[in-house]
Amino acid sequence: MWLLKLAWKNMWRNRNRTAITIAAVFFSVILSILTNSLQDGIFDNLIKNVVSFYNGYIQVHKQGYWDEQILDNTFEGTSALEDSILALENVNALAPRLESFALASSDTLTKGCLVIGISPEKENSITELKNKLKEGEYLNEQDFGALIAEGLAKRLKLYLHDTLVIIGQGYHGAMAVGKYPIKGILKFGSPDLNDQMLYLSLPAAQELYGAPKMLTSYVVGLENPSNLDPTAEILRDKLGNEYEAMTWEEMMPEVVQHIRTDKGSLVIIQGVLYMLIGFGIIGTLLMMMVERKYEMGMLVAIGMKKRKLMQLMLIESVFTVLSGCILGMLASIPIVFYLNRYPIKFKGELAEVYEEFGFEAIFPTSTNPEIFLTQGLFVICMALLLSLYPIVKIARLDPVAAMKK
């Protein structure tokens, strides 16, 4: 107890030095947490936008569909198949789709689009499509209206309740032509999705493509997305060779690659940050050792064991670093939550560059508590590691030499 008291008093012996160290750790922890939460937030948002909003975490197709995405590679959707997938532990939703590219036309304009036949409620349970509705109404199960993405509608100069014509190739080479009133306009975060998506109810799409009861995919919703790979593995085992179960990572390797590349560059930035924290702490420790060398020699001379002196130094370092760390963690909470609620948004040309690559130019932070704890713990561990310097110095301390002025 007296050792703790002495360490606490020693910590405030040189208030300026302690304040500088605490401030260094404080700002480093904030920066470190912000960098990490921004990194995770951006990737979470990216995955949410591009993966969860459309692809889903896992898709089930007929074997070979992903390599050759044509209507002839469809499979018949049955309730038995649906039930067997839904029976899996981590699966909490399933949405059938029939999708194919076609041409969408208004009066004088035509543009390629992705026509997706969906079961509106099931689709909504996975991709929250209803939330994307900007104008009009959502589809019902037997609807013969269409939901069109905002970008596509703008290009075709179509508005709510206008009529849209779809022309394409159907099942087994049949002509696919249909006329649909626009029932709602959708707005997607991803500009890619915003420029090409067109939704019909599943019966309407099956009729358009001449493929009754046929599906191109089941989109699988997961209760715990972190168990993605094990769930996909179980699904593959269960479905056999007739079907393929693909994770979003397998379907979108470019997104995975992008995340990896970005994480790599952030590791370098974080390395520099940690080095700065390290130099700050070691600088203080060096100053402290020079300042208190005489006193340490005296303490060993009068009978304080070096082990005790090492404990004292360690406690002082931990007190200082812990104070900076806790303050940094507390101060970062409102900043991280604020930036999560009101994310950084790029505008103008920079935003366009991001949008060209299919990403929203917004940068929310992640509020995952693990980030706060991990970064805090990392800084504490680093400080403890650096505290080995005074400990080694004390181990080699010669009281007579230390007390020579």
Partner 1 sequence: MNTVIDAHQVSKTFNPTTIPILAVNNVHLHLERGEFTALVGPSGSGKTTLLNLLGGLDKPDKGSIFINGVDITKLSPNALIDFRLNNIGFVFQSFNLIPVLTARENVELIMQLQHKDRREINERVETLFREIGLEDKLDTRPAQLSGGQQQRVAVARALASKPQFVLADEPTANLDSKSATNLLDIMAKLNQEENITFIFSTHDVRVIERARRVITLVDGQIHSDTAKVSTEVPHTAQKRTP
* Binding region for partner 1 (CB under 8 A): 2, 6, 9-10, 12-13, 294-295, 298-306, 308, 399-400, 403, 405
Cβ neighbors of 225 (< 8 A, separation 6 or more) are 57
Pick 17 or 130: Cβ nearer partner 1: 17
Pick 277 or 314: Cβ nearer partner 1: 314
Say how far apart CA 150 and CA 188 lie, in whole Å: 8
Q: How far is the CB of 389 from partner 1 (least distance, A)?
A: 21
Own/partner pairs, 355-360, CB within 8 angstroms, 24+ separation: 355/191, 356/191, 358/50, 358/190, 358/191, 358/192, 359/46, 359/49, 359/50, 359/190, 360/45, 360/49, 360/189, 360/190, 360/191
DSSP state of 164: E
Pick 134 or 305: Cβ nearer partner 1: 305
For Cα atoms 47, 51, 52, give the angle at the middle one, nearest 5 degrees: 95
Q: How far is the CB of 403 from partner 1 (least distance, A)?
A: 7
Q: How far is the CB of 57 from partner 1 (least distance, A)?
A: 58
Distances (CA, A) of 392 to 153, 313, 383, 396: 71, 11, 15, 6
Q: How far is the CB of 311 from partner 1 (least distance, A)?
A: 12
Say how far apart CA 295 and CA 338 lie, in whole Å: 47
Q: How far is the CB of 309 from partner 1 (least distance, A)?
A: 10
For Cα atoms 265, 266, 267, give the angle at the middle one, nearest 5 degrees: 90
Pick 6 or 167: Cβ nearer partner 1: 6
How deeply is 260 buried, as exposed, middle or buried, from its count of CB atoms within 10 A (0-12, 13-18, 19+)? exposed
Q: How far is the CB of 19 from partner 1 (least distance, A)?
A: 16
Is residue 18 within 8 A of residue 280, CB to CB? The reply is no
Cβ neighbors of 355 (< 8 A, separation 6 or more) are 191, 361
For Cα atoms 151, 154, 159, give the angle at the middle one, nearest 5 degrees: 120
Is residue 150 within 8 A of residue 197, CB to CB? The reply is no
Pick 260 or 405: Cβ nearer partner 1: 405
Pick 56 or 297: Cβ nearer partner 1: 297
In DSSP terms, 245 is beta-bridged to 60
Range list of H helices, 109-149: 120-127
Pick 344 or 401: Cβ nearer partner 1: 401
Tokens of 240: 């056999």
Our separate counts of H helices and E strands in the chain read 15, 14
Own/partner pairs, 299-304, CB within 8 angstroms, 24+ separation: 300/397, 300/399, 300/402, 301/399, 301/400, 301/403
Q: SS3 of 61, please?
A: strand
Pick 2 or 342: Cβ nearer partner 1: 2
Pick 89 or 398: Cβ nearer partner 1: 398
Pick 278 or 399: Cβ nearer partner 1: 399
